[in-house]
Amino acid sequence: MDRGKPDGKMESSMFDTYETLQIETLAEHVIGIRLNRPESMNAINTQMGRDLVACFEGFSLDPADVRCVVLTGAGRAFCAGGDLKERKGMSDEAWVRQHAIFERMARALLDCPVPIVGAVNGAAYGGGCEIACCCDFLYAADTARFALTEVTLGIMPGSGGTQNLPRAVGERRAKELILTGRPFSAQEASAWGLVNEVFSAAELLDKALSTATAIARNAPLSVRQAKQSIHRGLQMALRDGLSFEIEAYNRLVPTEDRREGVLAFNEKRRPLYKGR
């Protein structure tokens, strides 16, 4: 599937038909996905949940030539969380049905075989913080703010927040942040391990793209297997993780890309990986 042209405009495809997402080709094998409801600070409504499920489950079905994704927000926010205006007056039954979409959205992001570099350009609150936590790693603008505010609204994080945040910052820090609902800065998020690096707002997307491009230059099957091995292995005992790792490793031995990588090294040239 052709994702784009050299001028950066994408061909018509499943990736440019979403109501709430803006998608563009950023570089060879790299696409940008922008949460695109700037009038509501990219708050997650039912449609955005459905769009994110369809988009990221699409990568699991067929990543085609996409090797890395940069996920960010349109306008001044990353994502302000669930759209409370849409939820006003919502029945309990409707709330549960909607939240089932958000649960599946989190799983689609976490299960995406293609690496996701989060570029948090502004507020990432509630469900927006949970979306950020589902990325493989995060860069943030120095003005970005984070919070899991659900307990201040009579609910609790339900799209991975109580699971992903502790894995990033530790149990004690996560309890403090989730149980108080207090906001924290990009600098604090970096010091605690949630954010990899903080940049100025003007630099953020360029830095995220630079990293995404470096990932996309590597063998895509190797990247996907390594990503899965890290994520799944951390949920296992060490010996089980080592067994999972070698299974992932052995799947790469018979690939064309493995042979190309070694050949290119010996011929002192850049490898041309094809994902097979």
pLDDT in tens, 19-49: 999 999 999 999 999 999 999 999 999 999 9
- Contacts of 42 by beta carbon, 8 Å cutoff, 6+ apart: 35, 36, 48, 73, 74, 75, 77, 78, 79, 80, 128
- Picking from 176, 200, 216, the residue at the C-terminal end of a domain is 216
Exposure string of 215-229, with b = 16+ CB inside 10 Å and e = fewer, is: bbbbbbbbbbbbbeb
Determine contact, residues 145/184, Cβ cutoff 8 Å: yes
Same domain, yes or no: 73 and 185: yes
Same domain, yes or no: 162 and 260: no
Residue 276 lies in a domain: no
Residue 25 lies in a domain: yes
**Pairwise CA distance, residues 14 & 1, whole Å:** 10
Residue 271 lies in a domain: no
Low-confidence ranges of the chain (pLDDT < 70): 1-16
Range of the domain at 95: 14-216
Same domain, yes or no: 241 and 145: no
Task: Supply the pTM of this predicted model.
Answer: 0.91
Q: For residue 250, count other CB atoms closer than 10 A to its CB.
A: 10
Same domain, yes or no: 73 and 153: yes
Q: How many domains does the chain have?
A: 2
Residue 102 lies in a domain: yes
Burial class (CB in 10 A: 0-12, 13-18, 19+), 165: buried
Residue 194 lies in a domain: yes
Same domain, yes or no: 209 and 236: no
CATH number for the domain harbouring residue 22: 3.90.226.10
- Picking from 176, 191, 216, the residue at the C-terminal end of a domain is 216
Residue 31 lies in a domain: yes
CATH number for the domain harbouring residue 229: 1.10.12.10
Same domain, yes or no: 239 and 121: no
Same domain, yes or no: 132 and 242: no
**Pairwise CA distance, residues 147 & 272, whole Å:** 42
Same domain, yes or no: 54 and 190: yes
> Is beta strand 116-120 parallel, antiparallel or unpaired with respect to 145-147?
unpaired
**Pairwise CA distance, residues 11 & 275, whole Å:** 21
Same domain, yes or no: 87 and 195: yes
Same domain, yes or no: 138 and 260: no
How many angstroms separate the Cα of 134 from the Cα of each of 10, 71, 116, 127, 260?
26, 11, 9, 11, 32
Residue 92 lies in a domain: yes
Residue 3 lies in a domain: no
Same domain, yes or no: 37 and 117: yes
Same domain, yes or no: 185 and 83: yes
